[in-house]
Amino acid sequence: MKGMDENPLDLLPELLLAGAAVAGLLLGSWLPRRRQWAVVLLCALACLAAAAAAVVAAPGPATTAFDGAYALDPLTTTARLVLTGATLLVTVLSLRPLGGHPRESEYHVLVLLTAAGSLVLAGAQDILLLAAAYLLAGIPAYALAGFAKDGPGTEAALKYYVLGAIGGVVLLTGTTLLYAATGTTAYPRLAHAEAAPAALLTAGTLGVLGGLLFKSGAVPAHFWVPDAVQGSAPPVAALLTTLPKAGALTALFRLGAVPLAGSAVPWPALLATLAAASMTLGNLAALLQRDVRRLLAYSAVSQVGYLLMPVAVAGRTALAQPAFLYYVAAYALTNLGAFAVVCALPRATTTDRWRGLVGHRPLLAVSLAVCLLGLVGTPPTAVFLGKLQAFTALFDAGYGWLAVLAAANTVVSLFYYLRWLAPAFTPGAAPPTGGEDRLARGTAHTAAAASLALGLAAGPVLALLDGPPAH
């Protein structure tokens, strides 16, 4: 086997992102400050090229690369497209706030590295690679959280870093335990480790799960989310709640679908419980928020709960995989749209300061409505179909109670989304317009329109998401 599947072209999208990051760093150190746009352009082109490479590689059969360490299957392909698209949106959102910044190149390089790390998280088929990806997706993101070097940013970075370090240690401990129990870190061989001691196996699995839960911002490892999101710049907040989360959740799905599909560890029940806790606690905490970024942060915690629903039944029903992949894409798009609206009016920090948006910027108000109602799951936006698919998968796998709980939580979530929407649609004086960002506004419109389009074109998209994961 060895040496037969070591074709670097299999990892072209990942290599493009990492290569562009390195090139951008070098280029940025030589360019004068007002020519740093060249680095931004390079990063954007790298995203587009990576997406194109992912599309070209998509039709191939599910396989693995580099001695089974990296999976090439519908999961990886979707993660590649979602993550490169999300990175592109974050890059556009950052153009204006970071334009002419002394460290603009560094910023975009860090974004690209986070994207590369998240992508490897999604594709990793070996726990050691997963641990490396965890660090690659984490360390640049810590730097991004504190990039502005101001008080809240420093606090955000510190909190994110400390909890991230703990998560990393837990993940590595879990890896060690699993290796001790089974003598391997590769997923396919972990799946056949019937002889391993159950206690050691369970402890190791819990460790890996703990690390990934931190990355995805799920209960009980969600404490960093509100502070990191509120403290960092809005584009960074958009990145933190989208990129590592999509990567980590895909990794969790892969764990459930491949090595743990027939395991004695009660994985579905455990994840279903975590999903229930995430959606409920995230919602309850969001109810009290007035700051729009904190509100979106808690909404992100509850959304992880919904995303964990199909993850919990991964490998238990054929409906789980299209449901999960579709939901990830829909969530990333809609969440970025909501953050883009925040970026468009950075001075309007609390919900009541959005009063009068409809008279001032009607299209932005409509985009906000589409994105927030989309996060609720109102048809015909994409998240609605994601939810529908996830509910169907849950009922099919015998987890109907979780679907009922999720439906109840959806109603609760309406409270706080409407608390933001209602002022925006109430006539009144215009919201504080200082620092208005036209590019972010365009991004918000694009994301809202795309979330509607994705919902209406779900038929062909869903058909593409089916296909067995690599073993």
Partner 1 sequence: MLTVLVFAPAAVALVLLALPRTVPDAVHRTAWTVTSALLLAFTAALWAAHGTGGGYAYETRVRWMPSAGVGYHVGVDGLSLPLTVLTCVLFLACALYSWRERRRVRAHAALFLLLQTTCLGVFVSLDLILFFVFFDLSIVAMYFVIAGWGRDQAARAALTFFLYTFLGSLALLLGFIGLYLAASPHTFDMTDLTRADPLAGRPVAAGLVLLALGTGLAVKTPTVPFHTWLPLAHTQAPAAGSAILAGVLLKMGTYGFLRIAMPVLSEAWRRYALVVVVLGVVSVLYGALVALAQTDLKRMIAYTSVTHMGYIVLALGAAATATAPGDEDARALAVSGAVTQMVSHGLLTGALFLLAGALHERGRTYDLAAYSGVAARAPVLAAATAVAFFASLGLPGFSGFVAEFQIFTGSLGPRPVATCLSVLGILLTAALLLRAYQQVFLGPLRLPPAPGSPRAFPDLRRREAAAVLPLLALATLLGLAPRPLLDTVEPASGLVLEWLAR
Tokens 């993550």: give the residue.
83
Q: How many helices (H) and strands (E) does the chain have?
A: 20, 2
Both structure tokens of 374: 């989309």
Long-range contacts made by residues 410-414, C-beta under 8 angstroms, separation at least 24? 410/376, 410/377, 412/283, 412/284, 412/287, 413/283, 413/286, 413/299, 413/302, 413/375, 413/376, 414/376
CB of 201 to partner 1, least distance (A): 33
**Which residue in 271, 269, 282 sits closest to 409, CA to CA?**
282
Which of 422, 430, 433, 435 binds partner 1 (CB under 8 A)? It is: 422
Which of 350, 462, 467, 471 binds partner 1 (CB under 8 A)? It is: 462
Candidates 206-214, 293-301, 346-354, 376-384; binding stretch for partner 1 (CB under 8 A):
376-384
The alpha carbon of 20 is separated from its chain's Cα centroid by a whole number of angstroms, namely: 21
Residue 403 binds to partner 1 (criterion: CB under 8 A): yes
Both structure tokens of 393: 């998968």
**Alpha-carbon distances, residue 47 vs 11, 41, 114, 408, 412 (angstroms):** 14, 10, 12, 38, 37
Candidates 64-72, 92-100, 144-152, 381-389; binding stretch for partner 1 (CB under 8 A):
381-389
Residue 288 binds to partner 1 (criterion: CB under 8 A): no
Instruction: Indicate the burial class of 462 (C-beta count within 10 angstroms; 0-12, 13-18, 19 or more).
Output: middle
> Which x/- pattern, by CB under 8 A, does the window 41-80 give for partner 1?
----------------------------------------
**Which residue in 62, 90, 84 sits closest to 12, CA to CA?**
84
Window 294-323: residues binding partner 1 (CB under 8 A): 322
Residue 466 binds to partner 1 (criterion: CB under 8 A): yes
List 72's β-bridge partners, or say none: 63
Residue 5 binds to partner 1 (criterion: CB under 8 A): no
Coil vs helix vs strand at 315: coil
Which of 169, 288, 407, 430 binds partner 1 (CB under 8 A)? It is: 407
CB of 379 to partner 1, least distance (A): 4
Candidates 138-146, 187-195, 247-255, 413-421; binding stretch for partner 1 (CB under 8 A):
413-421
Residue 27 binds to partner 1 (criterion: CB under 8 A): no
CB of 400 to partner 1, least distance (A): 8
Residue 132 binds to partner 1 (criterion: CB under 8 A): no
Sequence-distant (6+) residues with CB within 8 A of 454 are: 329, 330, 333, 382, 461
CB of 411 to partner 1, least distance (A): 5
CB of 59 to partner 1, least distance (A): 17
Coil vs helix vs strand at 73: coil
Nearer residue to partner 1 within complex by CB, 122 or 358: 358
According to DSSP, the β-strands at 63-65 and 70-72 are antiparallel
Candidates 117-125, 232-240, 292-300, 375-383; binding stretch for partner 1 (CB under 8 A):
375-383
Window 440-459: residues binding partner 1 (CB under 8 A): 458-459
Q: What is the gyration radius of the CA atoms in the chain, in angstroms?
A: 21
Candidates 23-31, 264-272, 273-281, 380-388; binding stretch for partner 1 (CB under 8 A):
380-388
User: What are the residues binding partner 1 (CB under 8 A)?
Assistant: 322, 358, 362, 373, 378-380, 384-385, 388-389, 391-392, 395-396, 403-404, 407-408, 410-411, 414-415, 418, 422, 425-427, 458-459, 462-463, 466
